[in-house]
Chain A
Amino acid sequence: MRFTKDHEWVEVDDNIATVGITAYAAEQLGDVVFVETPDVGKAVKAGDGFAVVESVKAASDVYAPVSGEVVEANGALGDAPDTVNAEPEAAGWFAKVRLSNPAEVEALMDRPAYEAYLQTL
């Protein structure tokens, strides 16, 4: 699993990246009450807003950590947005992206680097 400074995670399997937000981000947001996932087929560019996660208090953008085409969105979050709090780095994934530039993943932090980064916040 790789991580961004904006607290998204990416896990790549056979050129498909599963994307979500980290446990740290979920904890910071508080109880997630609504998730807007990207439409399947949408082309996304690393750094663009591609999903929105809402708590009671506020709506927050989730940025695409990698570029590519959205091939699947986690429909289960529609009825159970709180899955993002319960299992942020597993069942609470947002979308799957077919990578157009796999090298982008290599530029992201690994877990020790991300955890070191969290210590600086």
Chain B
Amino acid sequence: MTAPIEHPLKTTPLYAAHIAAGARMVPFAGYEMPVQYLDGVMKEHLWTREHAGLFDVSHMGQARLRGVAPLAAFEEVVPGDFINLKPGKQKYSVLLNRSGGIIDDLMAGRPDDDGLFVVVNGACKDNDFKIINDELAGQVKIDRLENRALLALQGPEAAAVFQAHAPQASSMVFMDVRPIHAFGQDLIVSRSGYTGEDGYEISIPAEAAVEVWNALLADARVKPIGLGARDSLRLEAGLPLYGHDLDETVSPVEGDLTFAINKNRREQRDFPGAARIVGELAAGPARVRVALKVLAGAPAREGAEIADLNGAVIGVVTSGGYSPCLKCGIALGFVTPVHAAVGGHLKVIVRGKAQAAEVVKTPFVPHRYVRKLPT
């Protein structure tokens, strides 16, 4: 019998720093990543909500898209308005297949005049960049920034911590992206994140990652936070997770991401799967992503069925868990649109037991993005 081919796990430039900090390492997106440190998921989660959490997200895919007209070219694979994206701004978008399904979700921005700076999910990055390369051949060149690490500093004290090192970042608001020279390094910094909190995402030359990581952790307001809390934080923020809440069968309308389909693009119908997506915008999708609060009982996790009050299965949980802030189960899942109204009562089936759940608005825990600078 032939042994299965083992793909050795990759590591980020911060691997040794994670081990030294007492991280429990797990395989994730082909990397050995910290799922938690000594404090554990609960404390790390709450620390990020109250202070500042530092995340190593260097497994994510960073790239530059360069070409004669990279913004216009990029519109061929996403439904967002990138032609009118202002310098210094970034935008959330989705890479679409020809059926209008989501290949990945991503951030793309213009920190400078050097094309588009794109960040995609780690588990999807090889496929994403191949698809962009194939679809946009001759129009853009993709330069993967594999020599850069990526950190996220998130939480109500994140801005003050980072601005102490990079005063220039104080004039940025949510979804601004800019080149910043700090820590003696050329960084690409955005004011954004995946926790619902204010904070920054910081692209760093790999060889300087440890130095920047340690400099940020030297601040008593900052603790390292693992992927476990990253997941519970994003869930409370109501943000979908690719590979769970979104996949190649889910359209951005089904995925409750219609904000990412700009008006001019809807009219132009010039993105992959436009027929399906414009049709769903007009007539409604067959299923839609909702947020559920579990009113009693165990957390409903991925795969749990969602039923109506008569017991008929009308959907499925695609990610769910325990909310450290709300102290109850919360979940994202897909239901038939007739059951999607906020305030509606449904059941989640956990280990055979039907438990009461309510459709709620997202975010579960309010976002605290800084959209305007204090005057």
- A residues contacting B by CB (< 8 A) are 30-31, 33-34, 36, 52, 54-59
CB A11 to nearest CB in B, in angstroms, measures 27
Whether A30 pairs with B40 at a CB distance below 8 angstroms is yes
- B residues contacting A by CB (< 8 A) are 35-36, 40-43, 45, 228-229, 231-232, 297-299, 301, 321-322, 324, 329, 351
30 contacts between A and B (CB under 8 A): A30-B36, A30-B41, A30-B42, A31-B42, A33-B42, A33-B322, A34-B322, A34-B329, A36-B298, A36-B351, A52-B298, A52-B351, A54-B298, A54-B299, A54-B322, A55-B322, A56-B41, A56-B42, A56-B229, A56-B232, A56-B321, A56-B322, A56-B324, A57-B35, A57-B228, A57-B231, A57-B321, A58-B301, A59-B298, A59-B299
Residues on A with beta carbons closer than 8 Å to the beta carbon of B329: 34
Whether A31 pairs with B40 at a CB distance below 8 angstroms is yes
CB A111 to nearest CB in B, in angstroms, measures 25
- Docked Cα-Cα span, A40 to B298, in Å, equals 19
- Docked Cα-Cα span, A57 to B43, in Å, equals 13
Residues on B with beta carbons closer than 8 Å to the beta carbon of A52: 298, 351
CB A9 to nearest CB in B, in angstroms, measures 22
Residues on B with beta carbons closer than 8 Å to the beta carbon of A54: 298-299, 322
Whether A57 pairs with B351 at a CB distance below 8 angstroms is no
Interface of B is mostly: mixed
| With contact pairs A30-B36, A30-B40, A30-B41 given, residues A57 and B232 touching in the complex (Cβ less than 8 Å) | yes
Instruction: Using CB atoms, name the residue of chain A closest to B324.
Output: A56
- Docked Cα-Cα span, A55 to B40, in Å, equals 10
Whether B41 pairs with A34 at a CB distance below 8 angstroms is no
Whether A34 pairs with B299 at a CB distance below 8 angstroms is yes
- Docked Cα-Cα span, A97 to B351, in Å, equals 22
Instruction: Using CB atoms, name the residue of chain B closest to A28.
Output: B24
Residues on A with beta carbons closer than 8 Å to the beta carbon of B36: 30
CB A64 to nearest CB in B, in angstroms, measures 16
Residues on A with beta carbons closer than 8 Å to the beta carbon of B232: 56-57
CB B132 to nearest CB in A, in angstroms, measures 33
CB B53 to nearest CB in A, in angstroms, measures 14
- Docked Cα-Cα span, A31 to B229, in Å, equals 12
Residues on B with beta carbons closer than 8 Å to the beta carbon of A56: 41-42, 45, 228-229, 232, 321-322, 324
Residues on B with beta carbons closer than 8 Å to the beta carbon of A58: 301
Instruction: Using CB atoms, name the residue of chain A closest to B35.
Output: A57
- Docked Cα-Cα span, A36 to B298, in Å, equals 8
- Docked Cα-Cα span, A7 to B329, in Å, equals 26
Residues on A with beta carbons closer than 8 Å to the beta carbon of B40: 30-31
Whether B41 pairs with A59 at a CB distance below 8 angstroms is no
Residues on B with beta carbons closer than 8 Å to the beta carbon of A57: 35, 41, 228, 231-232, 321
Residue among A31, A34, A54, A56 having the largest count of chain B Cβ atoms under 10 Å: A56
